[in-house]
Each structure stands twice: as C-alpha cells, then as structure tokens.
Amino acid sequence: MIRGDVTREALSALSSCRQNRCRDVSKDKIETAKKHFAHPKICYDVLDALADDVSAFVKKYGQFDRVYAIFLFNWVKDQEKGFKNVFDLLKPGGECLCMFYASSFHLQFRKKLANTERWKKYAEICESTTPGTIDLVGNEARISYMRRLLKSANLTPTFCDVIQEISTRYGTKEDLIRELMEINPLTAKISEEEMPFLREEVMKEADRLWAEKEAGGSPLDYPVYIVRASKVLS
C-alpha cells in the first residue's frame, strides 16, 4: 500500500525487514512497478483496500508486523472499511502508519465535477474515490473524526494529527493542469470524444486556482493526516 514513487526511498528505512509486500488495487500499476521498481526485497501484488474479505490475502502471506499506507486513504470513500481491513492484515501487536490528504484541490475538483450536468453520469466514479473528510472544517473536527474511525476499526492510535502541507511543486499553471488531469479518475473512464470537454473543465479550474494563488491565497496547500495506530495484543 506504499505509493510507487516513495517505495525506493522507504526501503532504506525498512532495511531490517526480510521482505516488503507492496499492494495496489490496479493490476496495471502493479505490473508497472514490477517493471520499473523491481527489488529483491519487494513483492508486488494486487489488493483492494475496500475488499469485503482479506482472509485469502492473509492466508497467502500471513499477517503483517507493519502496514504502511501512503496517500491511499484519500482515494477511499469508505475509510472505516479500509481501516478495518488494515486491522485484519496486522498481527496482534502490529502497527500501521498512514499518511493521506484530508482535503486537496484535486479532491474538491472531483466533487465539483460530480455535481455538474455534463459529468453527473460519472458521479459514482467521482464520489467513490472522494473521502468525506473533504467536508470537515478545522483540524479539531478532522482529528475527532479520525479517532472515532480508528476506534470503530479496533485500532489504537499512538499518533494522530493533521499538518498543513505547503505546496511548492507547482511552478506554473501548466503544472496544475497536468496534475488535475493525471490525478483524476475520469481520465481513464471517459470516451475520446469527451476528453476535450474534461480538459476544458480542468483548464477553467486551473485558471481559478492560479488566480487565487497570484492574489496571495493558498488554494494549493492542503491538510494531511498522519496516523500511527496499533492492533493491541488481546
């Protein structure tokens, strides 16, 4: 459940582990990772974070000492179910470390698309990949929500906080356009005929965000959850 572009960096911190099993719901992404990020200590496989039952996966690999989910849960609407699956994947005494957006301009744009006349037929796709945390206001509400969710999943938090990530990687408006297209579930679902209309929506959103940034606002910064929790020994 580690995002592909941080797997290599994470290996040095996990050097004591005999093997690291990296998961993604997309078979294509797993194959890409195998091709470009092969490593003797990494085993790649497919796993849906929202699977109804992860027992077959546990039977195949056993339970884990640690689960790292980096920018996974900002793609998950039913976060409670996702954390319950993390619980099932962990050994008693095991722990998880999760980092994910509470909200972001990508997620807000996704929600906006779902409510438009042109794209409402794809609303289910947008909504299924948009967590409810985007509607929470303030870190107190965000942390309270997360603690309730962890309790429901029988996970005990040792650290639960929200930090504000100051974005510095968007040097031009074109960077925004590219990312709004790439990190968009509709890009892989719509027809070729619809693609220019999506790009038009993206360019309008990028114009709005960039104008707000130029006026001194912070529309590209976003709150990020950092959660460390354990499966307490019973």
Confidence of residue 4 (pLDDT cuts 50, 70, 90): very low
Is the pLDDT at 2 greater than 90, yes or no?
no
The two three-digit tokens of residue 184, written as one number: 């968009």
User: pLDDT tens across 65-124, in order?
Assistant: 999 999 999 999 999 999 999 999 999 999 999 999 999 999 999 999 999 999 999 999
CATH number at residue 73: 3.40.50.150
Query: Helices in the chain by DSSP H: which ranges?
Result: 4-13, 27-36, 55-61, 79-89, 105-114, 123-128, 139-152, 173-182, 195-214
| Cα distances (angstroms) measured from residue 109 to each of 33, 114, 171, 220 | 28, 9, 20, 12
How many domains does the structure of the chain reveal? 1
**Looking at the domain assignment, is residue 33 inside a domain?**
no
Task: Give the C-alpha separation, 113 to 108, whole Å.
Answer: 9
Average pLDDT over residues 16-23: 55
The two three-digit tokens of residue 106, written as one number: 């990508």
The two three-digit tokens of residue 57, written as one number: 């996966």
Confidence of residue 169 (pLDDT cuts 50, 70, 90): confident
Average pLDDT over residues 149-168: 96
Confidence of residue 233 (pLDDT cuts 50, 70, 90): confident
**Looking at the domain assignment, is residue 160 inside a domain?**
yes
**Looking at the domain assignment, is residue 20 inside a domain?**
no
Average pLDDT over residues 19-27: 57
**Looking at the domain assignment, is residue 62 inside a domain?**
yes
**Looking at the domain assignment, is residue 183 inside a domain?**
yes
**Looking at the domain assignment, is residue 179 inside a domain?**
yes
**Looking at the domain assignment, is residue 41 inside a domain?**
no
**Looking at the domain assignment, is residue 199 inside a domain?**
yes
For the entire predicted model, the pTM comes to 0.83
Identify the domain containing residue 173 by its residue range: 47-230
